[in-house]
Chains A and B, each alone.
Chain A
Amino acid sequence: MKKLALAVSLALAAGMAHAQTIKIAGFGAKSGVVRSFGINSEAALLAAADVINKAGGVKLADGSKAKMVVEFYDDRCNAEEGISVIRRIAGTDAVVAVGPTCSNVAEPLFGILQKKAGDAGDSGLQMPVFTDVAIKVGLAKISEWAFRNVPNEMTMYNSLFYWLRTQHPGLKTVYGGVEEDFAHSRATWYIVMKTRAEASGYEVLGTSKWLLADSNFATQVREMKKANADIIALSAHPFTTCGVLKEMQRQGVKPKLLVGLTSSSSLETLQGCPKQAEGIIIPTSFAPINKEANFAAKSTAKFKGAADLHSMAAWENMFILKNVMEAEGISGKPGDVQADRRKIRDGLARLKTTQGLMGVTKRDAEREADKPYLFVHAKKGEWKVLYNPL
């Protein structure tokens, strides 16, 4: 009888050990017009967790293994909602949060985190946030608890315009189009695309502006037509990118080259206007060009998500976090959640490089990533690699 009781106890103890989990909180837009970003991020997080768990899980400080569990929260791409979500996550046993989708959420959300880690006088949230999607330049410096694995648009567009200059030396002028009321589009045009084009020797002839929900682009496209620039660069998301491209077709505006916004190198653009988007060149940090990237894309598809530069950043984040957790030796015990969060923060802060799907990503002192990139262009309804500087 004693032997039986001992066996049952051992079995239960073993079962409990197997049941140990490390919770990762994902968050992003799963409703509203950018819902696809949240769906894809969640799928990539779940797919990565599945791969990690099948390989044994995360090794904890005591040598045991824990499974990664992902819980995803919807912030509706709304700043207030995002802040509420991160507060809720902080109240759970999640050791790290991955998100958000939108820069207009990331900016205020990073603002409620503790500015300087360990500052006893700062009552801000002490929760490591590892962003996969929100891409507006320079946001991680807001808090030492904020980290990002998003492409460096400054580097990518600098390289793109330089490359275009070398490939098409006859092209001299650029005309811009920007979604004036969207944080990312605006910042990317005025801070990144425009300045990088000028730095590469292009003359920027002007900028046409529209709003995210606009439906009539006739006036803006007439401005483009008048400018008659060699290159038209659109810093806009798929809905208005397609609206503008269709209006350009109607008015017979045919620039020699079209350049698009990083976030538009997605299925949405090809679904909205495959014919009109033909030839548009976009720098991106993901394309299924190697074994690992193809595996990640296929694994994400099993969870009903699409692989793009954003969702694959979420995939990479999971593997980076696993390595950090193991290197820092988190305990995974309910009583140590805050200590584990601090260890993860410190571990992420120490990283100088990480391994991504496209190669090695450099990390800077402001907790931003400098990811490998390539240039894709729309060809017959698909994104094809145009140039791979890797």
Chain B
Amino acid sequence: MLDFFQAVSDGVLFGATYALIGIGFTLVFGVMHKINMAYAAASVGGAYAGLLVLQVMAGAPPWVVFSCAFLAGGLLGWMVYVTCFHFIPLSSPLAPLMSTVGMLLLIDEVIVHLTAGMPQAYPALFDDVMLSMGEFTLRGDLMLVFGVSVLAMIALLLLLYRTRLGLATRAVAQQPVAAQLCGIRLARVNVLTFVVTGLLGGLAGALVGASVGTLSPLLTVPLTIKGLIVTVIGGLGSIPGAIVAGLLVGGFENVLQLYRGVTERDLYVMLLLFAFLIFRPAGLFAPRGGH
């Protein structure tokens, strides 16, 4: 039984990073009704950019690296918007989908070319801390990841529900035409959505790097897949849904890995996704109005 609880706690804590990635997918979908396939790659790109701090400031503390990743994520978010959405005919649902898939591959390959694909050591906070209760343990760094993720999510919710930008974002998400008639500039809200999700993504990428201890371009595709699964299970466009689904998927895959092994683990995660698509296609927290 201890193994079960251990697997659940490890998975749920790590699932916080999935939740952060899922939020990015869901927020863009909620506002623009488009999927940004480059989101996880840009998040990992932001995390790599964070490492640039160490080039100019050797031995910089991890929080400086994380801050740089956070800002770089925002910049990459803006770049993804400009290159994949701003000049692309959004009336065709396939166009931005394909442009962001292209951007995913481009970011991935740029990272590979700049690092020759070599894994890069990533700084972490509290990675030597392990809380023990008998044989039950909790990783200090993952608890930090969880805590930072929760704070980031709270900050995002406050931004959405307590600021004029949030009000505009929600208005555009619900009724873009009516929002425009009220004087809200659609393009501005869209670009700010990408910057905000990019900032969150940069932080998520840094937290993933910190929790693994190493960054590799190998992370981009699995994080994209996990982010999409979390978005669908949580309900497209639902931020609370993405949070709960991220934690759920993290715990679920870890338990399945414990009992069924690593080769079957992803199979069951996919089955969970299919089960949701069939029995609850709108996800855990389907927003009113369908998005």
**Closest approach, in angstroms, between the C-beta of B235 and any C-beta of chain A?**
25
Q: Mark B6-36, 1 if CB is under 8 A from A, else 0.
A: 1100110010000000000000000000000
Cβ of A334 to closest chain B Cβ, rounded Å: 35
Check: B160 CB closer than 8 A to any chain A CB.
no
- Interface 1/0 per residue, A145-181 and B, CB below 8 Å: 0000000000000000000000000000000000011
Most buried by A among B11, B113, B221, B257: B257
B120 at the interface (CB under 8 A from A): yes
Interface centre among B137, B139, B212, B258 (most CB of A within 10 A): B212
B122 CB to nearest A CB, Å: 9
Judged by DSSP, the binding face of B is: helix
Q: Are B117 and A33 in contact (CB under 8 A)?
A: yes
Q: Is B61 part of the binding interface, using a Cβ–Cβ cutoff of 8 Å?
A: no
Provide the B92-126 mask, 1 if CB < 8 A to any CB of A, else 0: 00000000000000000100110011111100000
| B112 and A33 contacting across the interface, CB-CB below 8 Å | yes
- Binary CB contact string for chain A from 189 to 228 against chain B (1 if under 8 A, 0 otherwise): 0000000000000000000011111111011101000000
**Interface segment, one of A4-12, A238-246, A344-352:** A238-246
Among candidates B11, B121, B141, B217, residue contacting A272 with C-beta atoms closer than 8 Å: B121
Inter-subunit contact B118/A36 (CB<8 Å): yes
Interface residues of B in 216-240 (CB under 8 A from A): 216-219, 221-222
How many contacts between A and B, using CB within 8 angstroms?
A: 105
Interchain CA distance A209-B112 in the complex, whole Å: 26
| B130 contacts partner chain A, Cβ-Cβ < 8 Å | yes
The answer on a CB contact under 8 Å between A239 and B214 is yes
Chain A residues near B117: list those with CB within 8 A.
32-36
Find out whether the CB atom of B139 lies under 8 angstroms from the CB atom of A243.
Answer: no
What residues of chain B lie closer than 8 Å to A246, measured between beta carbons? Answer: 127, 212-214
Size category, A interface: 35 or more
Measured between alpha carbons, how far is A292 from B3 in the docked complex, in Å? 54
Interface status of A288 (Cβ within 8 A of chain B): no
A382: interface (CB < 8 Å): no
Given A35-B112, A209-B262, A239-B216, the answer on whether A215 and B211 have CB atoms closer than 8 Å is yes
Contact between A222 and B128, CB atoms less than 8 A apart: no
A272 B214 Cβ-Cβ under 8 A:
yes
Q: Is B263 an interface residue (CB 8 A)?
A: yes
Q: Which residue of B lies closest to A220 (CB)?
A: B262
Report the minimum CB–CB distance from B108 to chain A (whole Å).
9
Q: Select one of B130, B208, B213, B254 contacting A273, CB under 8 A.
A: B213
B261 located at the interface, meaning its Cβ lies under 8 Å from any Cβ of chain A in the complex = yes
A36-B116, A180-B262, A250-B141 in contact; A243/B212 too (CB < 8 A)?
Answer: yes
Q: Which residues of B contact A218 (CB under 8 A)?
A: 10, 14, 139, 254
Known: A31-B109, A215-B222, A250-B139. A180 touches B211 (CB 8 A): no
CA distance A220 to B10 in the complex (A): 12
Cβ < 8 Å to A, chain B residues 159-215: 208, 211-214
* A219/B254 contact (C-beta < 8 A), A250-B127, A268-B119 known: yes
State whether the Cβ of A95 lies closer than 8 Å to any Cβ in chain B. no
Give the most central of A219, A243, A251: most B CB within 10 Å.
A219
Q: Which residue of A lies closest to B111 (CB)?
A: A33
Interface residues of B in 241-273 (CB under 8 A from A): 254, 257-258, 261-263
- Cβ contact within 8 Å between A213 and B222: yes
- When the two chains form their complex, are residues A250 and B128 in contact, meaning their CB atoms are under 8 A apart? yes
Within 231-257 of A, Cβ neighbours of B (below 8 Å) are at 238-239, 242-243, 246-247, 249-252
Q: In the complex, are the beta carbons of A239 and B109 less than 8 A apart?
A: no
> Which of A213, A219, A242 is close to B258, meaning CB atoms less than 8 Å apart?
A219
Which chain A residues lie closer than 8 Å to B3 at the CB level? Answer: 222
Cβ of A112 within 8 Å of any chain B Cβ, yes or no, is: no
- Taken residue by residue from 13 to 51, chain A's Cβ proximity to chain B (1 for < 8 Å, 0 otherwise) reads as 000000000000000000111111001000000000000
Q: Do A274 and B216 touch (CB < 8 A)?
A: no
A273 contacts B10, C-beta separation under 8 Å: no
Q: State whether the Cβ of A187 lies closer than 8 Å to any Cβ in chain B.
A: no
* Residues of A close to B10: CB separation below 8 A: 216, 218-219
| Most chain A beta-carbon neighbours within 10 Å: one of B128, B139, B211, B216 | B216
- Which A residues touch B121, using CB under 8 A? 242, 271-274
Q: List the A side residues contacting B262 at CB < 8 Å.
A: 180, 209-211, 214, 220
Whether A293 is near chain B, meaning CB under 8 Å from some CB there, is no
A69 interface residue (CB < 8 Å to B): no
Q: Is the CB of A268 within 8 A of B130?
A: no
Q: Which 5 A-B pairs have the closest CB atoms?
A: A246-B213, A272-B119, A35-B117, A36-B116, A218-B10
Q: Give 9 new A-B contacts, CB below 8 A, not counting A36-B118, A239-B119.
A: A33-B218, A181-B263, A211-B262, A215-B14, A215-B219, A216-B211, A249-B127, A271-B118, A276-B213
